[in-house]
Chain A
């Protein structure tokens, strides 16, 4: 059974740029959630995708957007990057509303 994978592992961008992060869900899972973990803090929910549609969103601005594909993989896009967007971005997959399992994360640094 393949676990949740994320790419890239690390990424460095400059302020104002755009970034795309990718997530492959665990085999058998159809729901993907994204979280932002700033340094020294707990993860915060960004949004969730189920059956290719957004299914709940946290307190993040519209420049954070996402997609889910027919194979249940997902992308997180962030436009107009700000310094405060520097964080570990975690993807979690689940079957429906069952327990979420996390990937290793993508560490984004915005300079």
Chain B
């Protein structure tokens, strides 16, 4: 069984300040890790993913996440946020390869960027 814990349910942050969203997971098998973003009244959009290779992964809009196997974490960071980053962010885990791609999600972190 797998589980995901997002340690902060809400994170208020000022525009142009850095933000970190924490995600810890537990699994008995090798995993793939994902961050999805959900804007109000919309579905989920893939932000970035870790499948293998470099433990630091980046998105096209300035977010990055680092896979830390020893700490079973996959924290998401952005050095300078914009108003448009206001959204809910979900960390998710799936089994790797033939184990299937069913996603287990955390409870989400709501980011509110203030001017």
Chain A interface residues (CB < 8 Å from chain B)? 4, 6, 31, 33, 35, 40-45, 48, 55-56, 58, 90, 92, 94, 97-105
B60 at interface (Cβ–Cβ under 8 A)? no
Give the residue name and chain of the A residue nearest to B32 (CB).
Answer: A99
Query: Is A102 a contact of B44 with CB atoms below 8 Å?
Result: yes
Give the residue name and chain of the B residue nearest to A33 (CB).
Answer: B102
Q: How many angstroms between the C-alpha atoms of A48 and B92 in the bound complex?
A: 16
Chain B interface residues (CB < 8 Å from chain A)? 4, 6, 34, 36, 42-46, 49, 90, 92, 97-108
Q: How many angstroms between the C-alpha atoms of A6 and B46 in the bound complex?
A: 17
B109–chain A nearest beta-carbon distance, Å: 10
With a cutoff of 8 Å between Cβ atoms, the chain A residues found around residue B45 in the complex are: 102
Query: Is A45 a contact of B104 with CB atoms below 8 Å?
Result: yes
Of the candidates B101, B105, B108, the one having the most CB atoms from chain A within 10 angstroms of its own CB is: B101
Give the residue name and chain of the B residue nearest to A45 (CB).
Answer: B102
Q: How many angstroms between the C-alpha atoms of A45 and B93 in the bound complex?
A: 12
Of the candidates A4, A40, A55, the one having the most CB atoms from chain B within 10 angstroms of its own CB is: A40
Give the residue name and chain of the B residue nearest to A50 (CB).
Answer: B100
A51–chain B nearest beta-carbon distance, Å: 14
A99 in contact with B101 given A42-B90, A43-B90 (CB within 8 Å): yes
**13 further contact pairs, Cβ within 8 A, besides A45-B103, A102-B45:** A42-B4, A42-B90, A42-B92, A42-B107, A44-B105, A55-B100, A90-B44, A92-B44, A94-B101, A97-B99, A102-B44, A104-B43, A105-B42
With a cutoff of 8 Å between Cβ atoms, the chain B residues found around residue A90 in the complex are: 43-44
A100 in contact with B43 given A42-B108, A43-B90 (CB within 8 Å): no
Query: Is A41 a contact of B108 with CB atoms below 8 Å?
Result: yes
Q: How many angstroms between the C-alpha atoms of A6 and B44 in the bound complex?
A: 13
Q: How many angstroms between the C-alpha atoms of A92 and B106 in the bound complex?
A: 17
